[in-house]
Amino acid sequence: MQPTFADFSASPVNASNAGIRYRHCHEASSHLVMGADASTELDFEVDGQERIAEVTLKVTALVSKLGRSPGYAPVDVLVNGKALVQGFTVPGGGDLPQDNVFAVPGALLRPGTNTLEIRTAADARSMLWLHRVTLDSVYERGRSERAMAAEAARDTVFVYTTERRPPFTSSWRPGPRLLFHVDRGEQSLPAQLGWRGQDGAESAISFQSNMSDFHGHHRAADGTLAEFRGRVVERGPFPEGTEGVRVHRFLTEEGWGGGWHTSGELRLLVEDGSGRPVERVTWRDQRGNSGVAALRIAAGCPGAAADAPDVTEGARVVEVSDEYEEAGEVAENLLRDSRAKWLAGECEATVEFAFDRPTALTGYTLTSANDFPDRDPRDWTLSGSQDGNHWTELDSRTDESFTGRFESRRFRMGAATGAFSRYRLDITGNGGADEIQLSGVRFAGVAADHFSGYYQRYNEGPIGYRGTAVVSPDDSAERERNARLGAELEEATRSLAEAARSVGRLADLFRGR
């Protein structure tokens, strides 16, 4: 049986395998309101080839209160006109909708279209608030709820208008819009969200289950406290609505069993109108899972700062094409603060470096060695990679020279390159010798954004949670490569067109004979 549900908490109503009809009902922000002698009908399909022994029907509803009494709105539930339950009273008197589960015998179903009817009694004295209805084969219990949650969780970018007011006052004042996106790839929307800005301001809010509005508090950087509420005005799937703002994307790991294990991507975006980046985000989703991410935000724009810090300490040599081990003239010397050198017995050489975490370079420095200027590099390329297999060219130099021994020359990167965990220096030319040598390599840049925190699944204990920034797929090198590929494709298209015209001319000549 395919997933069958009607989610009346969504606007518009979110439904699957269900045609819906109302009588004496109207839609509210988070439910369907059914008065006395009202009915809601769902038409759903059953495959004629499928044998269903039993169906699990779940009706999530709440009876509105009558003053201090729990209210009174009994219901009948019918399947294809036959009563499944009569005069059933949904528990009332609370504030949360109740899950009411019924077993539908397979004998009440028929191949093709079936009709489920929920009908309130004519003498009902309060309202029945209908939130959700799901139907599943007893052997696939929960399938429709999972499908309904996945459907609702497709739209994960939210925009709210907001209001604030000081405590113990009655006047609300308009606040800046709130734009947020929190997604671990688990298809579950947030139930609660909190964040702290780098200026010390912080907020904590809780959402209606259908995300229509929120309520919480806001504490300004100066300590001023205010109630905080908002109503959704836009929502959509990622990346819609995030143009022009910075979305933090992290490759994450979870710490358990004495080690760290890959756990997918986390995306975080909170824009509250303050103009200050967030430094901490906390959340709990609608499944009861919760997490905290304390962010370290890389300052500045890679490639823009002339005085970017030295980040060589985080690097190590992982591959080298050749080195003179007998004399101790190895590639590891490049990263040491000494006058020792690296010597490769070839006129072309390669050395590859790995960083502890992805790092965006703004420049690098090469230092010539102690002797033989004709061994100095003249032509080289610096490339970056995340996995050591796929490389992006970042900087290329030709016909460079050093004017003295142990001379350090710094080379600025031409544009923002993105953050990579590996860098490779390919030296393709020197001053004419049969060897390549260098005394030092230093890197300038900024470590990529990263975070540390914890994650806790519902009904389980907390575990470690950390992540490093994902390289943006639209960095300058990628754009340049795409432009180059586009130009090559355009040239190939022109060549093919010319070849086709030549074949046509030859065919005309042949027919003329």
Chain segment 329-364, per-residue pLDDT in tens? 999 999 998 999 999 999 999 999 999 878 888 899
Burial of 28 (0-12, 13-18, 19+ CB in 10 A): middle
Residue 481: is its pLDDT beyond 60? no
Per-residue pLDDT tens for 253-312? 999 999 999 999 999 999 999 988 899 999 999 989 999 999 987 654 433 344 578 999
Q: Which of 68-77, 316-325, 468-477 has the highest mean pLDDT?
A: 316-325
Confidence of residue 387 (pLDDT cuts 50, 70, 90): confident
CB 253 within 8 A of CB 261: yes
Does the pTM exceed 0.85?
Answer: no
User: Taking all residues of the chain, what is their mean pLDDT, rounded to a whole number?
Assistant: 89
- Looking at residue 373, the DSSP 8-state letter turns out to be G
pLDDT for 321: 97
pLDDT for 479: 39
Rounded-to-integer distance, Cα 220 and Cα 225, Å: 7
Per-residue pLDDT tens for 185-206? 888 899 999 999 999 999 999 9
Residue 218: is its pLDDT beyond 60? yes
pLDDT for 88: 94
Interval 87-98 mean pLDDT: 82
Q: Tokens 């009817």, residue?
A: 117
Choose the weakest-confidence range: 38-42, 108-112, 298-302, 318-322.
Answer: 298-302
More confident residue, 472 or 71: 71
Per-residue pLDDT tens for 45-56? 999 888 889 999
Q: What are the tokens at 497?
A: 């067109």
pLDDT for 11: 77
250 contacts: CB under 8 Å, gap ≥ 6 = 265, 266, 267, 268, 293, 449, 450, 451, 467, 468, 469, 470
